[in-house]
C-alpha cells in the first residue's frame, strides 16, 4: 500500500536519536517531545500527525494521531502507537516503563504559545525548556546518507538550470516562464514543498524574476523579493514580460526526498550591459574567496565580514545583498530539510563550521531599475574545505 523505497534507514534514525540523547543528558534535560514536521521527519522518518518522545534513558516512543498505519510503514522506530489526544501521553509513558520527566525539552522556537500552554498543563509540574537550538545543531552536520541525497538534489538543480535555455523567450511573462521551469522540476521528482523554520517565512520553488522587477524588495529574509502577482504573496514572479538585454534571475530550490539544494543562475536574452557583467564577475570572486576561507573551525560570521569587505572594495557596498536600507547581513545559510538551517553565514554569528555541514553561498548585487546579478551554489564542508555540489555554468548565460 505504501511506497517505502525512500524511507530513512533504521540505523540513520538510531544515530540521530543517540546524538539527541547525548545533548539532552549534557544539558540536564530528561527527555524531548518533538512535534514540528521537519524535526519529526529527521528523528522518526515520518511527518504524520504525531508526538515523538525521546527519553535520555529508554527507547523513543512515537505516538501517532493521523495517519497511524502510514506512520508505521514510514518509520523504523520500534515503538509506534496510536493516540487520540495529547492528554494520553503521561499514561502511555507509564505503560512503556518511561519515567515522568523532571525537565522536558520542546521546540519553543516554533511551537505557538497556546500549544505550549496546553502541554504545560498536561505535564504539570514538569519544567518545559527550549531544545530547538540543540536539535538544529545536530541537524546542521549531515551524515553520508544525507549528503548523498543533497548531492542528487544538486544534480537536479543543474538539470533545471539547463532547461531554462529551452523555456526563456523574449516577451514571455515571468509567471508563465516560472510555470514551465517548475513543471520540469516536478517531472524530475521535485517534492513540491519547501520548508522554512523562520516564523512567517514562506517560499514556493524560489524566485524567477527579470530586470527591474527582480530588484523590488520584499518582507522575506532574502536579498531578492520581486514584484509578485499580488500583495497577498509579495514576492516572486509577476505578470511582467521578460525583455532582451536584462538579467533574468533563476533562484530555485530543488527539493528531493526531503532534502534541498539551493541554486541561482543569471540569464539574458541577446546580451547584457558591460557594467552588469562586471558586477556578476565580482560576485563570482566573492564566492571564490568565501570558499577559500570556509574551513572547519572558522566562525560563520567571519565569512560574512570578509565577503562584505570584498564587495565594498569592488565598489558595491550599497548594492551587496540588497540595496540601501533593504540590505540583509548574510552571505549564505545552511540547507537540509529546511531552507534556513544552521549555520547562518551572517553578521555576528559565532557558530563554527564543521565537517559535514551543507551550506548555500549566495553573493548577489541588487541594482534598482536594472535587476539582479550574482550566484548561489550548494556546498558540503569537508576536512579540506567546501566541495561544490551544484555545477552548472556560473557565468551569465546569454541566449
DSSP one-letter string for 34-56? E-SHHHHHHHHS--SEEEEEEES
Please check the confidence at residue 4 and state whether its pLDDT lies above 90. Answer: no
Q: What is the pLDDT of residue 3?
A: 84
Mean pLDDT, the chain, whole residue set: 97
pLDDT at 1 over 90: no
Q: What is the tens place of the pLDDT at every residue in 332-342?
A: 999 999 999 99
pLDDT for res 124: 94
pLDDT digits (tens, 9 = 90+) for 299-323: 999 999 999 999 999 999 999 999 9
pLDDT band at 2 (very low <50, low <70, confident <90, very high): confident
Q: Which residues, listed in sequence order, are joined to residue 173 by a DSSP beta bridge?
A: 241
The predicted-structure confidence for 135-149, as pLDDT tens digits, reads as follows 999 999 999 999 999
Fill in the DSSP letter of residue 100. Answer: P
| pLDDT-derived band at 82, boundaries 50, 70, 90 | very high
What's the pLDDT score for residue 172? Answer: 98
pLDDT in tens, 146-185: 999 999 999 999 999 999 999 999 999 999 999 999 999 9
Per-residue pLDDT band for 38 (boundaries 50, 70, 90) equals very high
Are the CB atoms for 381 and 389 separated by under 8 Å? no
Q: How confident is the model at residue 51 (pLDDT cuts 50, 70, 90)?
A: very high
d(CA 174, CA 186): 18
Task: Tell me how far apart the alpha carbons of residues 257 and 73 are, in angstroms, rounded to a whole number.
Answer: 16
341-372 per-position pLDDT tens digit? 999 999 999 999 999 999 999 999 999 999 99
Q: State the average pLDDT over residues 4-12.
A: 94
pLDDT for 269 equals 98
**8-state DSSP, 268:** E
Domain ranges of the chain: 10-139, 141-398
Fold annotation for 141-398: Creatine Amidinohydrolase (3.90.230)
Q: Which residues contact 160 (CB under 8 A, 6 or more apart)?
A: 181, 184, 185, 188, 252, 254, 263
| DSSP label of 229 | S
Q: What is the mean pLDDT of residues 69-83?
A: 97
Res. 224: pLDDT tops 80: yes
Residues 6+ apart with CB under 8 A from 2: 70, 73, 74
Only one residue has cell 525548556, namely: 129
Predicted structure pTM score: 0.97
Percent of the chain, pLDDT > 70? 100
Q: Give Cα separations from 17 to 184, 290, 358 (angstroms).
A: 36, 33, 20
164, 231 in Cβ contact below 8 A? no
Give yes or no on whether 10-139 and 141-398 have one common fold.
no
Contact 150, 360 (CB under 8 A): no
Q: Tell me the C-alpha distance between 37 and 18, whole Å.
A: 19
Nearest to 152 by CA among 191, 121, 119, 116: 191
pLDDT at 297 over 90: yes
* Mean pLDDT for the stretch of residues 374-397: 97
- Fold classified for 10-139: Creatine Amidinohydrolase; Chain A, domain 1 (3.40.350)
Amino acid at each position: 500500500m505504501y511506497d517505502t523505497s525512500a524511507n530513512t534507514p533504521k540505523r540513520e534514525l538510531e544515530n540521530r536519536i543517540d546524538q539527541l540523547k547525548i545533548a539532552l543528558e549534557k544539558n540536564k534535560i530528561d527527555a524531548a517531545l518533538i512535534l514540528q514536521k521537519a524535526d519529526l521527519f529527521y528523528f522518526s522518518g515520518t511527518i504524520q500527525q504525531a508526538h515523538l518522545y525521546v527519553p535520555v534513558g529508554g527507547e523513543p516512543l512515537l505516538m501517532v494521531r493521523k495517519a497511524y498505519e502510514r506512520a508505521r510503514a514510514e518509520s523504523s522506530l520500534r515503538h509506534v502507537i496510536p493516540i487520540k489526544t495529547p492528554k494520553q501521553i503521561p499514561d502511555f509513558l507509564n505503560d512503556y516503563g518511561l519515567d515522568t520527566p523532571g525537565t522536558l525539552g520542546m521546540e519553543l522556537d516554533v511551537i505557538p504559545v497556546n500549544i505550549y500552554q496546553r502541554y504545560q498543563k498536561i505535564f504539570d509540574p514538569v519544567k518545559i525548556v527550549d531544545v530547538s537550538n540543540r536539535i538544529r545543531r545536530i541537524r546542521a552536520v549531515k551524515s553520508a546518507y544525507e549528503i548523498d541525497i543533497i548531492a542528487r538534489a544538486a544534480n537536479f538543480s543543474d538539470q533545471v538550470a539547463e532547461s531554462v535555455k529551452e523555456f526563456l523567450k523574449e516577451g514571455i511573462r515571468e509567471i508563465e516562464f516560472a510555470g514551465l521551469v517548475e513543471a520540469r522540476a516536478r517531472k524530475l521528482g521535485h517534492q513540491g514543498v519547501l520548508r522554512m523554520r523562520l516564523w512567517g517565512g514562506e517560499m514556493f520553488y524560489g524566485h524567477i524574476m527579470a530586470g527591474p522587477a527582480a530588484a523590488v524588495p520584499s518582507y522575506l529574509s532574502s536579498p531578492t523579493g520581486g514584484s509578485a502577482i499580488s500583495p497577498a504573496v509579495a514576492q516572486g514572479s509577476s505578470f511582467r514580460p521578460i525583455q532582451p538585454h536584462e538579467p533574468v534571475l533563476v533562484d530555485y530550490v530543488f527539493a528531493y526526498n526531503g532534502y534541498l539544494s539551493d541554486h541561482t543562475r543569471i540569464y539574458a536574452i541577446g546580451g547584457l550591459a558591460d557594467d552588469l557583467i562586471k558586477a556578476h564577475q565580482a560576485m563570482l570572486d566573492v564566492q571564490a574567496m568565501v570558499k577559500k576561507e570556509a574551513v572547519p573551525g572558522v566562525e560563520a560570521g567571519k565569512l560574512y565580514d570578509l565577503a562584505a569587505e570584498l564587495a565594498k572594495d569592488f565598489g558595491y557596498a550599497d548594492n551587496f545583498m540588497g540595496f540601501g536600507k533593504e540590505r540583509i547581513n548574510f552571505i549564505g545559510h545552511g540547507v537540509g530539510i529546511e531552507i534556513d538551517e544552521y549555520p547562518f553565514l551572517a553578521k555576528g554569528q559565532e557558530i563554527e563550521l564543521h565537517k559535514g555541514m551543507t551550506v548555500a553561498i549566495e553573493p548577489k548585487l541588487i541594482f534598482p531599475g536594472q535587476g539582479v546579478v550574482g550566484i548561489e551554489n550548494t556546498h558540503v564542508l569537508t576536512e579540506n574545505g567546501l566541495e561544490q555540489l551544484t555545477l552548472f555554468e556560473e557565468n551569465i548565460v546569454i541566449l
